[in-house]
Chains A and B, each alone.
Chain A
Amino acid sequence: METLIIVLAGVLVSAATYLLLSRSVIRVILGTAILSHAAHLLIISMGGLKTGAVPILGKEVSSFTDALPQALILTSIVISFAVTAIMLVLAIRAYQKLGTDNLLKLRGFNDD
């Protein structure tokens, strides 16, 4: 099971890298979103995907899944959510002020 998830994370990373290297700002932001998905998948599989009950006490079971990676992911998700929001707003502002969403054309506004 871990192998499958690792391969999936690898596919996501390659897709994200391809998008990050493109010209349009929105495609780049989509790339970062996919990259953070890959990282989160990686954390959950690195904690081990052994079968066990959901980590809620009160269930009559002998083993639970590891709770720490889930907390780490939850933290990481909200952080990357906030940064993605900032990135999107920046992209909109940049589009309004500079009139382009092409990263190669974001030149020639030197102030000094």
Chain B
Amino acid sequence: MSNLAVLPIIIPLLSGIILAFFPKKLTLVRSLAKVFITINLLVSGYILFTVYTTGSIILETGAWPAPYGIILVADSLSILLVFTTNIIAAACAFYAPHSLSDKKEQYYFYAFFFFLITGVSGAFLTGDIFNLFVFFEVLLMASYALIVLGGDKVQLRESIKYVLINLFSSILFVTAVAFLYAAVGTVNMAQIALRVQEVDQQGILTTIGILLFFVFATKAALFPLYYWMPSPYVKPNPVISALFGALLTKVGIYSIIRVFSLIFIYKIDLTHEVFIWIAGLSMIFGVIGALSTNNIKLIIAYNIIPAIGFIIMGIGVFNETAVSGSVYYLIHDMIIKAALFLIAGTVAYVAGTSDLRKFSGLIHYYPVLGWLLFVSAFVLAGIPPFSGFIGKLLLLTGALSDDEIAIVIIGLISSLLILYSIMKIFIKGFWGVKDESFEPKSIKGLTGPIAFLVAISVFLGVGAEFIYPSIENISTYLLDPEIYIDSVLKE
């Protein structure tokens, strides 16, 4: 029963190993990848259902009791994120065969794809801070291989930057774990939380907390540590961009949510107040980036930064409404970013360029794609009744009830500019003069996965009444670390 918690890690790991044996047999590999990811999606859906009906699943690996062994914690937040990850991965697995060249697929694309999912699921599920570092490395190592897959000049240049910044922040992570171990003498998150609570979070612990925040903020691309992010994310194939944009930065933000709702919560006026400022600056600089460029993929990549800003703002405000807004916005943003990266990739594929000034009138040839982009822009910007609206409404209500007026105004203005930056793609690329010399390319198989993701995000907004109670439960759960500590240490 408690072994369920390891399945979302084991299934993709085994799938990746199996698929690494016969990379050249593409038909077999493609169908096996689809089957495996569907199994994983169904299994994580079942675990999600179990967690919501019977409570968190705690797995002590190797039957060592909690603080001594590594534990896996499938609580309501982490399993929801694992399920969302698998939805995105499934859409990407069905999109990939139509988008990647045969040669790239033969060079172990599916194996690395599954290792990436392994790392992401593991990072969400683990209850041990050093194990979190190891799963970070698992997903980063797979992402290094994916980002350079194909080996273009631009990819090589961007991957050097990407590997360097991630290596640097990983070493800082190890350093932070070393300091934390010296201060509290354990690497188990629940026991760290307990000990930090006992010593009332002295100055050194707050310093370590800020060091950890620095590490996770680099992974999550927050202001002022986002400078490495936009360019490496758009150079590889759209599927890879979608996986990166939807999953990698969100693992960083999940770690921030976990660490700053469980461990470092006793000096809120110092740490969490800083988050609000960083959130505001991320929103401002992210939208400036998104407005500054005519490259459609870069527009989407820059839009990751304000979204991360919105999520961190909820953690900064740290009341129940704002935290549930953060969780809602996190789920919504993972799905819609994957959809938008796939749409931008498809548009760049059919137009032959990602420069917005070089094509127009695509709506005459690709009406479905055009309207999917239109709906996604509304979802992202937060037009009611779509999912972005409910997340932002909760976040801004939460911030208002704490009298953070400045951040609310920045949030509203940046939402407007986000809408403008995406609608620019629609207005310039899809409307406008019909290009008579344009030769339409087939996008068979590409729109299906996009439509699937957009449909889910529309459901997240329209079916909010159905989803909201569980999000609210997660938020009360996050605001009371005692529940987590008790469930893990069984005291």
Interface residues of A (CB under 8 A from B): 20, 25, 28, 32, 35-36, 39-40, 42-43, 46-48, 68-69, 72, 75-76, 79-80, 82-83, 86-87, 90-91, 93-94, 97-98, 103, 106, 109-112
Contacts and interface: CB of A to CB of B under 8 A. Distances in A.
Contact of A72 (B163, B167, B177, B353): B177
B62 to A, nearest CB: 14
Interface residues of B, number: 34
Contact of B157 (A28, A68, A86, A109): A109
B416 interface: no
5 contacts: A47-B182, A68-B181, A79-B137, A82-B141, A83-B167
Interface in B340-357: 353-355
Interface stretch (B108-116, B168-176, B378-386, B454-462): B168-176
B168 A42 contact: no
Nearest to B156: A94
Nearest to B296: A112
Instruction: Say what secondary structure dominates the interface of chain B.
Output: helix
B141 A83 contact: yes
6 nearest CB pairs, A to B: A46-B182, A46-B178, A43-B178, A109-B153, A94-B156, A39-B174
Given A42-B178, A46-B182, A91-B160, A32 B168 contact: yes
A90 B156 CA distance: 7
Q: Is the interface of A mostly helix, strand, loop or mixed?
A: helix
B445 interface: no
Given A82-B141, A90-B160, A46 B355 contact: no
Given A42-B178, A79-B137, A20 B151 contact: no
Contacts of B160: 25, 87, 90-91, 94, 103, 106
Contacts of A83: 137, 141, 144, 163, 167, 170
A60 B100 CA distance: 62
Choose among B152, B181, B355 the residue with the greatest number of A CB atoms under 10 Å from its CB.
B181
Contact of B163 (A40, A86, A103): A86
A90 B148 contact: yes
Contact of A86 (B144, B153, B177): B144
Contacts of B152: 111
